[in-house]
Structure 1
Amino acid sequence: MNALRAFEAAARHESFKAAAEELSVTPAAVGHQIRTLEDYLGVELFTRLNRSVELTDRARRVLPGLTAAFDSMVDTLAILDDPDESHVINVSTVPSFAVKWLIPRLERFNRSYPDYDVRISASVDLADFRRDHIDCSIRFGRGIYPGLKVWKILDDTILPAASPSLLEQQGPAESPADLARFALVHDDSLRFDPMTPDWRAWLTAAGVDDIVDWRRGAHFSFADHALQAAIDGVGIVLARRSIAEQDIADGRLVPLFATEQPLTMSYWFATVPEKAEQPRIVAFRDWMLAEAAEERGVTHGG
């Protein structure tokens, strides 16, 4: 069993080192277990290269079944943790959405559904629904998630925003050219999407890239950190409306220039097909759809 587990992890990562980190053993131990398995089966499972390993064709064919078998065992043993988790909703999402959108609204869900307990797992990594015991996930993307059932929760836009105190100190920003007087705050969390404008693209589209130096200012890897920096007067942020909505409504941030640019990506509710119609999942999904619809001033029709 240990040898099979070592092979499955190494095959999934195509790396003995990554498998060793996952299993909390040394790479040498992983290599030993796999050699033992190869000797037992009489089959070569990996081609050893200078600085990496590569699955053989025969090993690649058996990997999906072996992974499914381990996932099934994990799911079965999870029953021992709580024999009845029909009241629990395990939700995976990115930290900025959890902090700025989901958590501030969660009390309303608790009032409407007091019999359910929501457990939020916030991470920038995509969750493995079965391995990580996730019931549903809120993902920011284009809705293409093979093997999952998805519903669009929220479209998004991007807009410049500043704290009222910063504008009081340095004067109003009445046109994009006025940004030359301010520091810029950069949200680097969406660098993976070339269609999402950063300050450089936004200033170019506004025709002021020769006036405003887009290279200036502080950079943040999380969107909520960039928003907090803008709230604290560090500079003007190019904010996503979805996570800046409450700060704008409460007056901590002020939108500038009355222009918003739609993004190509949206927030999506995703779950595995076998859970899509479970009452707890339906309740949480429909509540999120209703919350998003209310925020945009429309009526959710189901």
Structure 2
Amino acid sequence: MKLQLPPLHSLRAFEAAARHLNLSAAADELHVTKGAVSLQVKRLEDSVGTDLFERGGRRLALRPAGERYFEAVRRALRDIEQATVQLRHAPAGLPLTVSCTPGFAVQWLVPRLARFEAMAPHVDVRIKASNQLSDFARDRVDFAVRHGQGEYPDLCAHKIFDDELLVVAAAALMQGRRPPRSDAELGQFVLLHDEHRGDWRLWLEEAGFAAALAERGPLFTESNGAVEAVRAGMGLALLPLELVRADLAGNRLVQVFPESMKGRLGYYLVYPERAPLRAEAAQFRDWMTGEAAADIVRP
């Protein structure tokens, strides 16, 4: 079936004019004259059979039909741009790049990565560990791991795991000691903080301790520091279960209190919604979500 599409030049002119709401700015962006933009927009309106802009005012304005059409055209052009970028920069054999925080990389992804490499030895996985959000097209990133509520416009999001926070300590630190039962007893321990003190405050309040205890103790800018500090026996840390699961299983760390705290946030694997996934990228996505699911049933 033949597609009934207007000329691409007309669509580009309309999208630029609707985004800027200014013909001169659209012309500068497209490196054409203002008259050329106006002509292309008029051709598009003739093609679709309706006016897209209000005529007669000093300032360019979209009509309701134009607003709806603009959103559809903008999404379509972005999809074409994203697919083109991937085709240009993702030939066969190109490394598969994953963006995530250093904490997630070191504590969760890297210890499991050998299993994926054994399953797909032809795929070269590269980890871009940073606390900065990556731009998929600009940074040539295939996947990103985001910590949030799973609502990411224009991105597919697969939950890896929920935020279930536990109070943990080095096994040697707790040897022969019972869990603190009062503010005074808890005050004898150093509290280790990951990025901010808010999680500790919430946990202390839920567990019946004084929230003011959260004001003391060292603060680390990302979770690797807190994990290494608690492993070294410096004090108690409140950390996601999935980032310390292996330490608990190996008895390097122990869970100090039976209570855990489940927050509203989680860890999600995300990628552009409409961009086609390479075969090796789809394989990595399925492996990663499978690893997360397997963790749920592992003792």
In structure 1, how many angstroms separate the alpha carbons of the residues matched to 2:166 and 2:182? 12
| Equivalence for 1:153 | 160
Report whether the alignment pairs 1:204 with 2:201.
Answer: no
| Equivalence for 1:247 | 247
Q: What's the % identity of the aligned pairs? A: 34
In structure 2, how many angstroms separate the alpha carbons of the residues matched to 1:77 and 1:288? 24
In structure 1, how many angstroms separate the alpha carbons of the residues matched to 2:156 and 2:218? 38
In structure 2, how many angstroms separate the alpha carbons of the residues matched to 1:271 and 1:286? 13
Matching of residues 258-273 of structure 1 within 5 Å: 258-273=258-273
Which of 171, 175, 189 is 1:168 aligned to? 175
Which of 75, 78, 94 is 2:85 aligned to? 75
**Which secondary structure state, in structure 2, belongs to the residue aligned with residue 296 of structure 1?**
helix
| Equivalence for 2:136 | 129
**Which secondary structure state, in structure 2, belongs to the residue aligned with residue 116 of structure 1?**
coil
| Equivalence for 1:116 | 123
**Which secondary structure state, in structure 2, belongs to the residue aligned with residue 140 of structure 1?**
strand
In structure 1, how many angstroms separate the alpha carbons of the residues matched to 2:192 and 2:161? 24
Structure 1 residue 119: Cα displacement: 0.8
Q: Aligned Cα RMSD in Å?
A: 3.5
Farther off after superposition, 242-251 or 228-237 = 242-251
Structure 1 residue 41: Cα displacement: 9.8
**Which secondary structure state, in structure 1, belongs to the residue aligned with residue 259 of structure 2?**
coil
- Would the aligned equivalents of 2:207 and 2:259 in 1 still touch at CA under 8 Å? no
Aligned length: 236
* Structure number with larger C-alpha Rg: 2
The change in CA–CA distance for 1:215 and 1:277 in structure 2 (over 3 A counts) is same
| Equivalence for 2:41 | none
Any idea what the Cα deviations from partners look like across 1:100-131, whole Å, max 9, x if unmatched? 00000000000011111101101111111001
Matching of residues 33-72 of structure 1 within 5 Å: none
**Which secondary structure state, in structure 2, belongs to the residue aligned with residue 155 of structure 1?**
strand
**When the two structures are superposed, what TM-score results if normalisation uses the length of structure 2?**
0.68
Which of 104, 108, 116 is 2:111 aligned to? 104
- Would the aligned equivalents of 2:154 and 2:274 in 1 still touch at CA under 8 Å? no
Structure 1 residue 258: Cα displacement: 1.1
In structure 1, how many angstroms separate the alpha carbons of the residues matched to 2:182 and 2:292? 30
- Would the aligned equivalents of 1:86 and 1:280 in 2 still touch at CA under 8 Å? no
- Would the aligned equivalents of 1:176 and 1:257 in 2 still touch at CA under 8 Å? no
| Equivalence for 1:238 | 238
In structure 1, how many angstroms separate the alpha carbons of the residues matched to 2:235 and 2:276? 43
**When the two structures are superposed, what TM-score results if normalisation uses the length of structure 1?**
0.67
The change in CA–CA distance for 1:85 and 1:124 in structure 2 (over 3 A counts) is farther
Structure 1 residue 85: Cα displacement: 3.8
| Equivalence for 2:195 | 188
Matched AA of 2:178: P
